[in-house]
Amino acid sequence: MAGAAELAGRAGRIAVSRRKQAALPVPATDEEAIALLAKYGEVERLLRADADLADHYIAKIKAEHDTAVAEHAPAQRERFAALKAWWEAGGAQRLAGKKRSADLAGAKIGIRLGNKSVRIAKGKKLDDIIAWISSLRWSGKSLFLRRGKVTLDKEAIITAWPKDESVRRTFERAGVTVAQDDEFFIDVGPAETAKEARSDG
């Protein structure tokens, strides 16, 4: 990409110039000051042009990526769902045995613990839980209630859950728990692997 090469070349020239320069003395004459101002303006305009060029190529690359994602996403979702069904129907037992995952076709496929999530018991309403927590004479309650439109700070609850038994007991009384379920996953590895595969093909 010619524009990217041009951008890299400009950045290199600026960096080399900066490394070679020692601290500049204060101009002794008006002529020296005008010459210094001209140099300052030249470099500043070059930097701004580089920033505009970088923004242009970043936007272009992002647009190309978004187009590719939109094109391939439906088929990828179908492939993922089909592989999940195959894994659960016997693929796991045949290829992973007692393990939770297997390395196949350059990818790791299997089951792993998903992200922790806050669960609210059936029959409980979030507004009632927030009202109950707010009514407690508990100095720590502000850590778990977000301001503005008051709601539960789920990230704070998840963080405190394994560390503070009193927090767990308080929220369990309100019908709030933290759970972590198994989830099916496919890890295809870093992007470099895809680049190598394209170059080999």
| Chain mean position to CA 94 | 34
User: Which residue's entry shows tokens 């109950």?
Assistant: 132
Burial (CB < 10 A; 0-12, 13-18, 19+), residue 53, is middle
Cα–Cα distance measured from residue 190 to residue 160, given in angstroms and rounded to the nearest whole number:
32
Instruction: Pick the most confident of 47-56, 131-140, 189-198.
Output: 47-56
User: Looking at the predicted structure, is the pLDDT value of residue 109 above 50?
Assistant: yes
DSSP state of 174: T
User: Looking at the predicted structure, is the pLDDT value of residue 18 above 60?
Assistant: no
2 band by pLDDT with thresholds 50, 70 and 90? very low
Going from N- to C-terminal start, the domains of the chain cover 2-68, 117-180
137 band by pLDDT with thresholds 50, 70 and 90? confident
The proportion of the chain whose per-residue pLDDT surpasses 70, expressed as a percent, equals 84
Question: Residues 102-118: what's their mean pLDDT?
Answer: 94
Cα–Cα distance measured from residue 114 to residue 181, given in angstroms and rounded to the nearest whole number:
6
Query: Can you give the pLDDT at residue 108?
Result: 96
Q: What is the pTM of this model?
A: 0.59
Q: Would you state the structure tokens that stand for residue 71, as one six-digit string?
A: 């094109």
Q: Which of 138-147, 168-177, 188-197 has the lowest mean pLDDT?
A: 188-197
